[in-house]
Amino acid sequence: MGGDSSYKRAFIAIGSNLGDKVENCKRAVALVTGHEGVRLKNISSFYETEPVDMDSDHLFVNGVFEIETRLSPERLLALLLEVEKQMGRDRSRGKDRVIDLDILAMEGVVRVPDEKSNLEIPHPRFAKRSFVLLPWAQIAPDYKVEGYNSTVRQLLDNLDFDDKAMPKLEDT
C-alpha cells in the first residue's frame, strides 16, 4: 500500500444498465478516484450481466475497482452516493440505473447497520453474486474478506454459475 498506513484498501462494485454503460462505469471510477484521499489501485474488466433480484429489460455492465483511501467508511459511502447523484441516478425512481456503486469490503472494517446508518461492510450479498466475484477475483483473487474465512477466489469457486454467461466486454 505504498507504505502510507493512513490509507486502507477498499473494493467498490460498479454497475450500469442505462445509456452508454461502459462509459458510465469509466466516468464513475474517474469521479471517485479524482476525489482527495482516494487513489485508484486496480480495475477489473467489464462484464455484461443479466439483472439480478430485479425486473428489467436492460442488461448490466458490471466490474470492480480497488482503491486506497483515507476516507472513513461513512465518508466513502457519502462520496459514492454523491457520484451516483452527480451522474443522474435517482434512487427513488425505479430499479434501472445509470450508475450503481457499492462498497464491497474495506481493509480492517466490519460495519453492521444500526439506527444511525444502514452501512454494511462487507456488502451483505456479495458472496452470492457472480457478477461481483468474477471481476473482483480478476484483480484481487487472494484478498481475504473481513468476517469470511475465504479468499475472493474461493468464494467464486463455491458458486455454481457459468462464466460464459457473463461475457467480458473489454479490458480496462
Residue 70 in domain: yes
Residue 91 in domain: yes
Confidence label for 59 from pLDDT (cuts 50, 70 and 90): confident
pLDDT in tens, 87-137: 988 877 768 889 999 999 999 998 888 888 889 899 988 998 999 999 999
Residue 93's domain comprises: 8-163
Asked whether the whole model's pTM tops 0.75, one would answer yes
Q: CATH code at 134?
A: 3.30.70.560
Residue 159 in domain: yes
Residue 24 in domain: yes
- Residue 51: what pLDDT? 76
Domains of the chain: total:
1
| 3-state DSSP assignment of residue 70 | coil
Residue 155 in domain: yes
Residue 58 in domain: yes
Residue 171 in domain: no
